[in-house]
Structure 1
Amino acid sequence: MNHFSDQSNPSMPRRSFFTSAASLTAGTALGAGLLDAQGRSLMAQDPATPPVLAKPESGPIESPFERDYEPPAFKPSWKKPQVNRLLAQDFIIYAHSDLEMTKKLLEREPGLIQSSIDWGAGDWETALGGASHMGRHDIVEFLLSRGARIDLFCAAMQGQTEAIRSFLALQPALIDAKGPHGFSLHFHAQVGGEKSKETLDYLQSVKQVELRPVPFLNKKPASDK
């Protein structure tokens, strides 16, 4: 038997191993974006020139980076797999408004609780951060009960006036600190509603800012309707 030919269908022309390998290579290149839709190579002819890759339709793009300094002496072992990025993204999005899906995904992957994502240009956000700036006390309290790390913005939304007072005594410049998407402490206290009214009054006494209406402030969670 010739192991270098296709015998699965006698009526089909015999294909050499090398022809099949070439087809596989072409198919792999197409899947990797190295060929255009007509099968033409996007690879540069000059080996010294990097290949031209097809631009992805959508999704995050990591900024280019090369060290221009000595690398740290500590070398991560990377013994454990990282939490899947898409799963972390979905978890953080759901934590803005959907308690049941937040619970479901966290049950599936407990490691999501501290996950964060950069929405671009260093706009980092956690599930707790998303729930906090949306005024979702129910989701915030669930996440805190599962070990989420409370921060200044969550404390403002939860009406923890004494905690805010202590942090501002430690560092007065924190009055201008910005959370995810640039939302201020005042904004977080505002979306907290009645629970954080005292905190908002305190923040306004430290620094008066214009408070604009928040469209989603009076909307009830779907589970409460």
Structure 2
Amino acid sequence: MDVPRLLEAASLLVPEEVATENDVTVNDVWEYLTRDEWEVTLGLLEELLEERAEVHPLPLGFWQALATAAEQLRLERSAAWSHWRCYETRHGIIRADLTLTPADKARRKTPFSGAGVLRPMWDIGRRTPTGEPDLCVAALWAEFTPSMEPGGRATVRLAPLSPSNWQHLQPGQVITMHEDRTLAGTAVVVDIQRPPTPATAPQHPSPFSR
């Protein structure tokens, strides 16, 4: 287990000298580690670092450390989420409100996992030389939604296979989801966060390497 990296991540928590009785500090994390309560430690860090990341983006190394720890504990969903956050740190964040087509009007009749497994195509406004929609692939992670059923609705995060094709996207833009040429869902972009620096070749698993 990469204890130094986990403690480095824990250092982002509330300092001991200013902590209240309800705050979680690096000493609390260390106490769990010394008792070999790895799953508790990892879950705690995931939750607290995610809250901090909403205000101040975290360095790639923190998410890599959590991904490594989750893989060693065989926590597949936690590992997948940490790798997803690695991808977003490098390429930016795309969030959208997605409504799936009802089962009686769609090809899909069954639910699918919300944990980045599905990699549908999206009509994001690009066109082929002949004027047809130029569909682009992006994996999908549904926030706080273990699975999505036909007709369901959720806020989703998208990880494009080719991020450069998505640079024109803006909040409020309507895009459509396709598992084939038929309409699988309609989404409204609600948040775009560009990466702070240009992404280089990935040095960790992406949503497309699983």
TM-score normalised to structure 1 length: 0.30
Higher strand share: 2
Q: Answer with 1 or 2: which has the greater Rg.
A: 1
RCO higher in 1 or 2 (8 Å CA, sep ≥ 6)? 2
Q: TM-score, normalised by structure 2?
A: 0.32
Which structure shows the higher helix fraction? 1
